[in-house]
Structure 1
């Protein structure tokens, strides 16, 4: 039951766990500050995990899940109305299908009559439906700075040479930008900041000034929009039980010495090929470090049959889901081998864990280079064909675990973690909650 003194907010994330979860964490933080009633809008396949979050955090009276409908698509049955385990070749098809949800979303607005919309990156039209709308930017400021320079203002001198990517690294981002420009932003030449300019008064950004301060300042300048950073949005409930609850994973980690183990996870939305899995397996066979490798169930079937016998008790392979925040908070974890999704990078640094970067596509290359420049990340050197090779993976892992350079890496990661936590305690989320409340007040009709 909604509190009569509440304002109603509809949150509208993209159909990916890496987008939905930060929206939920933002909702949880806002509810600690103000009496909002929040609706999370997504497709049916995502509602179970949304409702699980609501129940786990006892937020049933403040957050409700609302079903969004996409038009039928022959290649996208309802269980694929999400990026989780979505075959790569259907990625753009899901984006196209998502654009068909405008009519469903409009019906939701008519039924709920919200005071405010908080919208994601791939639905700029959500800000033009007669309700005040604020953009929540889930990509970091370094990525936005890079995309602005590369796709809009390439003639100007780029102030951040540490972010430069080679042609191969840019290829997938070029393809995505070309597709989005034509299919989502209607070939708007100002597409890089279209959501920013449509946002009422301010843009919320999932980042920390202690990590990306100079990039945030640059994006504010070139976009002309005020940015409020809302932090890493790490799940503190998971962090609090990291050492308290037992499970086979946590029990195995607890038998390992401090700073002895690398955690390898590429998420459920980055599906590795058989060749990529083979090279990672080769790297783990060659390295000296202990390791915990999390693989989606279909990918685990592609492991070389002799791999687990070869590494023995030095490593643990888990097929399926694992509690990432709890793992990163464990004292035995020395480094995180990651595909460099933005949420994963934030979680790793928040827990003081250096990153061994294996960026796969899109903005991941930019974000990895930003953290390398910050001194909390090492990037695996790619082979001549552009892929990652086992020997280079092993070198990067052992370099992040053993020796003086590894200890310096962990020291810088711990320092950055402390700054992120301090910033979270005195951050801009309070200001964001006040500003959103004021926007809702201004939108409320006078009785």
Structure 2
């Protein structure tokens, strides 16, 4: 965020030079839209976090309480509210009221673009639109596939040797790191469930922790025939698209949620912070995910993890989750094909008026 703030003068020079017809910005640079407006250039906010968390937190911003949010399926536990209060200051973008939500409400020209689909978030899209007094235009999941297979062949080759829907993919994104305790409990859950798995384990930059140090003693030897642990990067889209993947254990970042639904893979939800708990509750509501149970302090056990994995992959009910998410996947792809026309029409209209 500091880097974005410090780039504002360079941005001003660039936009003055190229004089674009339209600026599309996200919530981390509301100052960009403010400067564009001063130059007579209309701006449109691009929201990449989904309408459920945006409406949920916008409701808090507007009504100063979660209690009156109209959809009781979406809520926060006590420990999540405490975490949110600690994280709140990180949404401040500058002096005064120039924050994340005000950047959307005041600066976006008539519409807000949202990386979502109505078949997933219909009522939440409408409520978000009502709160921010803008037309919220869904633009689909924006899924990108990697066409270069050289670096991923070993993982996909291994995955191809497993049975259909038998393998769990585990990744917590590129910016979230599990504690040693959480890594150990997930490892215990994997042993209890006895499933095949591909697990991307990352450590913060500068950490001297090794995989061997983080995992329980003897774990790697015990699971060597049914698991792959990758320390750096894995081709997530290609893995999720593979027929032998039956579930995705995720922190529920919005891009991961959209990818999982797009490729028809149910989610074992382990939300960590920010919008992730809200996304997790949405997945449970629409029937395409199971959230790992936690205690009152937010801790989960290996037994909790194994139970959730079992519901998605091992038990017979897992087929129900897969059937539901595959049906939703087809609807998302159909909506995606038709949705770009509206996006183009809305943006063209803004440019024509200008």
Question: Could you tell which deviates more after superposition, 204-213 or 100-109?
Answer: 100-109
2:4 alignment partner in structure 1: 98
Distance 2:210 2:271 in 1: 20
Distance 2:148 2:254 in 1: 23
CA-CA distance at 1:112 after TM superposition: 2.2
1:277 alignment partner in structure 2: 183
1:350 alignment partner in structure 2: 262
1:46 alignment partner in structure 2: none
> Alignment partner of 2:182: what SS?
helix
Deviations 1:325-358 (A, max 9, x none): 0000001111100011100000001111000000
1:323 alignment partner in structure 2: 235
Distance 1:97 1:246 in 2: 32
Distance 1:423 1:303 in 2: 43
- Which of 284, 298, 313 lines up with 1:401 in the alignment? 313
> Alignment partner of 1:317: what SS?
strand
- Which of 111, 128, 138 lines up with 1:202 in the alignment? 111
CA-CA distance at 1:191 after TM superposition: 5.6
Unaligned 5+ segments in structure 1 are: 1-94
Deviations 1:225-277 (A, max 9, x none): 00110001111x44x889x9971100111000001010000122112222222
2:63 alignment partner in structure 1: 153
Counterparts of 1:47-62 in structure 2 under 5 Å?
none
How many residue pairs were aligned?
Answer: 343
2:85 alignment partner in structure 1: 174
1:417 alignment partner in structure 2: 329
Distance 1:314 1:212 in 2: 36
Do the aligned partners of 1:295 and 1:320 also contact (CA within 8 Å) in 2?
yes
1:232 alignment partner in structure 2: 141
Distance 1:195 1:370 in 2: 23
Q: Does 1:369 align with 2:301?
A: no
CA-CA distance at 1:185 after TM superposition: 6.4
1:26 alignment partner in structure 2: none
CA-CA distance at 1:132 after TM superposition: 1.5
1:389 alignment partner in structure 2: 301
Higher relative contact order (CA 8 A, sep 6+): 2
Do the aligned partners of 2:27 and 2:103 also contact (CA within 8 Å) in 1?
no
TM-score if structure 2 supplies the norm length? 0.90
Do the aligned partners of 2:78 and 2:296 also contact (CA within 8 Å) in 1?
no
Distance 1:359 1:373 in 2: 15
TM-score if structure 1 supplies the norm length? 0.72
Unaligned 5+ segments in structure 2 are: none
Question: Could you tell which deviates more after superposition, 153-162 or 405-414?
Answer: 153-162
Distance 1:412 1:211 in 2: 12
Deviations 1:398-435 (A, max 9, x none): 111022321111111111111101101111x2221233
Do the aligned partners of 1:173 and 1:363 also contact (CA within 8 Å) in 2?
no
Distance 1:245 1:277 in 2: 26
- Which of 111, 121, 127 lines up with 2:33 in the alignment? 127
Counterparts of 1:38-117 in structure 2 under 5 Å?
95-117=1-23
Residues 1:396 and 1:185: Cα distance change in structure 2 (over 3 Å): farther
Distance 1:329 1:245 in 2: 17
> Alignment partner of 1:312: what SS?
coil
CA-CA distance at 1:149 after TM superposition: 2.2
CA-CA distance at 1:174 after TM superposition: 2.6
